[in-house]
Amino acid sequence: MDYENKLVLAPMVRVGTLPFRLLAAQYGADITYGEEIIDHKLVKCERIVNEYIGSIDFVEKGTNNVVFRTCDQERNQVVFQMGTSDAVRALTAAKIVCKDVAAVDINMGCPKSFSVSGGMGAALLSKPELIHDILTTLKRNLNVPVTCKIRLLKSSQDTVELARRIEKTGVAALAVHGRKVADRPRDPAKWSEIADVVAALSIPVIANGDVFEYADFQRIKTATGASSVMVARGALWNVSIFSPEGKLHWEDMKREYVRKSILWDNDIKSTKHTLKEFIMHYSSLELPEGKAVIKSETLADLSKLYGEEEYYHFVNENRVSVNKNKNHLNPKRSDEAADDGFFIYSRVPESVLGGLWAL
């Protein structure tokens, strides 16, 4: 994994699932972080190759609960972000997933109560010895890059000191969110304090905070000297922010996300959560669209709401497991569709095929 001059999709809970990551990559993201997965959850999972949709699933044993879904398409750019407070458990979890991802990242910046109360996320910022234990344990035992993401501490000097200690563990890169734990999203990101970290380290630093337009990627790089730039809300509100050609209309992005979610059989709760974030930013959940999303119970409901019923039925009726031994079916394949995990038949209307190939 190369961390120089990269555009990076930040980890976002219930947003950074496979469809959203692939959409970000489609528009220019070089590295895509998955949503934070707690180590306790992953250690209960088994790896399953889902031939039906062409994905690799990590499923909680004894259930149908997919904790993490990835695919070969993103193998060289997806970062698995983990929430942990224990080095041994972190290693156990990382070993389950490390062969299917490009890197493993430890979340040390999440201020949410569910994370902090378990000694994870931002709670680690005050425990440098535990940070050292977790990172060195992973670094010694994994064959993929290990990184972490932090927030700013009370003073720039404290942040720099912690960053130096992290660098000594041998991590490949450090992501720095330019806000403190007590800061709210509306508070301006402190790019100058990220710059202090960059100046003190020799490893790549990924700057995060207040990137809302494509031009902001260069602005924050210039202001901080960071190697790469990470974006969260700017991508959530319009994932085509990664495109140098300019952002597409958010309505188009919304429909593309719905189609990707159908294609990869995304969890309905995660899909609805992401759509609601779109709607709340540009409109209101109190309007008919918002109410309809809230009421939807399946991807089929969402396909109807967004005029993608034909696409939904096509995908679900024509999926065939990727198996070269089944070539006697004589399908007409497109390279992109084959990567997505199913065959395309020539009997399908051209209007539908064109939209599918675009995905």
The residues that are catalytic are 110
Helices (H), 264-298: 268-282, 288-295
For residue 170, give the amino acid letter.
G
Radius of gyration of the chain (CA): 21
Phi-psi category of 330—alpha, beta or left, where left has phi over 0 and alpha has psi -120 to 50? left
Round to whole Å and give the CA distance between 228 and 175.
9
Encode burial over 7-39: b for 16+ CB neighbours within 10 A, e otherwise.
bbbbbbbbbbbbbbbbbbbbbbbbbbbbbbbbb
Answer yes or no: are the C-beta atoms of 262 and 303 closer than 8 Å.
yes
The phi-psi region of residue 11 (left if phi > 0; otherwise alpha if psi is between -120 and 50; otherwise beta) is beta
- Bridge-based pairing of strands 55-60 and 45-50 is antiparallel
